[in-house]
Structure 1
Amino acid sequence: MSVFGNPHPPALLPRPIPRPSRWVTITVSVLLAAAALSGAFAVYAGVRLYTLIEGDFGFATAPQAQLDAAFSRYETAGRIQGYAYVPCAVMFIVWFFQMRRSTGPLAPDQFRNGPGWAIGAWFIPIANLWMPYRIALDMWGAASPLPADGVPSRSPIWPVNVWWALFVSQTLLGRYAAQQFNKANTLGEVRDAVMRYMVSDALEIAAAGAAVYFVVRLTDMQQRKAAAW
């Protein structure tokens, strides 16, 4: 519950302050690394397929067996990405919710929404392109170090901004690439769609790395501030 204009003093904070599960933090970091690896394999498969489609002649420049193998590898890469993405997304949302509960007591007046929105915000169409980001910013501010000599302290928010920018860019470009690939009727359109997919996959790798940094950094900030009360 928000109390505007009357922030709670440290003495009123519940003890012990809840902390996110360490195994959840480790698990989500490992799954993010697995998602990055699946993205790297998708880029490799995309490059192999892309190079087999040459100009106006297209598939005529490569043996049919080689082309079939390239398409099969590309489809396999897509399935592996799906297998890696689902558990990664589930565990990230679990961690996100736990972190929202853990940072809430550190700055009860800073949050715009209740803890349940740390889950629900991801499932609202269109709004999920910015609501989780706002929650992440609130958590980041709540976990920032305590004021020193009465001067408020706030950690630089670039890790949140970089992670979210990469995540949203990859999500939007990936959806667009999927639409273009499904609608492709010519070899040139297939080639262009594969290129867009490769860029999206590269962004996915970068977003996964930024997410790991965000997870580890925010968890460490929360634990340090909780220990300082």
Structure 2
Amino acid sequence: MPSSVPLASRGLLAAVVAAFAAAALGDLFAVYAGVRLHTVVDGDVTAATAANLDSAYSLYERAGQVQVSTTLLCAVLFITWFFLMRRRTGLMAPDRFRMGQGWAIGAWFIPVANLWLPYRVAVDMWGACSPLPTEGETRRVPMWPVNLWWGLFAGTTLLGRYAAARFDKADSLAGISDAVTLYLAVDLLYVAATGAAVVFTVRLTALQRLKATEGPYWTPAGA
């Protein structure tokens, strides 16, 4: 490892975490709007007037627009952090990476492959930031933050695409109600995925700064 490795930016990390928080709030707003639309659609026919339905549907569309805006902001900041982290971790353990730096950006934009390639980059970064065991030490950094984040993100993305197809094909109030119910589950899962992403980014940043500061090996117990 080089004698001097740039530390991961805490300022950028704070911006990414704030963007994730905004995205989570957007998802919760969508949950509220979805519950309201679901209530109107499934309510008494006499109570579910055209005005109530239009109002609930308008709020649901507005919530979707908020989700798009917050997700776009989150994506820009997170991919920026992801690329810069790949560049810094590449200096620490270049032999740990199976793909070049450019894949930290490009992997997100390849259809179908973007459900797997960014995870490979993340796993390689996690391994590069994990301190090596010293003699007599077998300690390893657990991989669960990476696996939890990606499992929730990829799974929810696929479920969200299915929900969108169901919603677009709905041609009755019952069909809309079923699609909205599915979307409620998707939005709640996105909130969980956002929380897991925060854990991943914070933990990886901390690992990178620790290894860059203290060196490539674990400090022996009792030292």
User: What TM-score, normalized to structure 2?
Assistant: 0.91
Instruction: Note if 1:171 corresponds to 2:132.
Output: no
Provide the C-alpha distance between the structure 2 equivalents of 1:204 and 1:105, rounded to a whole number of angstroms: 33
**How far apart in 1 are the matches of 2:172 and 2:51?**
20
Match of 2:193 among 197, 204, 207: 207
Give the distance between the partners of 2:134 and 2:195, measured in 1 at CA. Answer: 32
How far, CA to CA, are the matches of 2:92 and 2:23 in structure 1? 32
Does residue 41 of structure 2 align to residue 53 of structure 1?
A: yes
Paired AA for residue 101 in structure 2: P
Describe the superposition over 1:136-167 as per-residue Cα deviations: whole angstroms up to 9, x where unpaired: 11111111123122645431101111100110
Equivalent in the alignment of 1:98: 84
Which AA in structure 2 matches 1:76? R
Q: Is the 8 Å Cα contact of residues 144 and 153 (structure 1) preserved in structure 2?
A: no
Is the 1:118–1:135 Cα contact (8 Å) retained in structure 2?
Answer: yes
Q: Which residue number in structure 1 is paired with residue 140 of structure 2?
A: 154
1:176 is displaced (CA, Å) by 1.2
CA contact (8 A) 1:140 1:218 kept: yes
Q: Considering only aligned residues, what root-mean-square deviation do their CA atoms show, in Å?
A: 1.5
In structure 2, the CA distance between the partners of 1:153 and 1:104, relative to structure 1 (3 Å rule), is farther
Q: Distance in 1 between matches of 2:85 and 2:34?
A: 36
1:16 paired with 2:4, answer yes
Following superposition, the deviation at residue 15 of structure 1 comes to: 3.7
- 1:61-115 Cα shifts (integer Å, max 9, x gaps): 4232222211111011000001101111011000001111111122221110111
Query: Which residue is equivalent to 2:58?
Result: 72
Write the deviation string for residues 8-59 of structure 1: whole angstroms up to 9, x where unpaired.
Answer: xxxxx3342022222211111100010000000100110111111228x7x5
Of 111, 114, 123, 2:109 maps to 123
User: Counterpart of 2:7 in structure 1: which amino acid?
Assistant: R
3-state DSSP class of the match of 1:109? Answer: helix
Look up the match of 1:132: 118
Give 1:34's aligned residue: 22
1:196 deviates by: 1.1
Q: Is the deviation greater in 149-158 or in 41-50?
A: 149-158
In the alignment, the residues of structure 2 paired with residue 46 and residue 174 of structure 1 have an alpha-carbon distance, to the nearest angstrom, of 14
Give the fraction of aligned pairs with identical amino acids, expressed as a percent. 56
Which runs of 5 or more residues in structure 1 are unaligned? 1-12
Number of equivalenced pairs: 215
Length-normalised TM-score, structure 1: 0.89
Once residues 214 and 134 of structure 2 are traced to their aligned partners in structure 1, the CA distance between those partners, rounded to angstroms, is: 12
2: distance between equivalents of 1:147 and 1:70? 57
2:182 to 184, 196, 201: 196
Distance 1:21 1:116 in 2: 20
Partners of 1:54 and 1:61 within 8 A in 2: no
Equivalent of 1:25 in 7, 10, 13: 13
Match of 1:88 among 74, 94, 114: 74
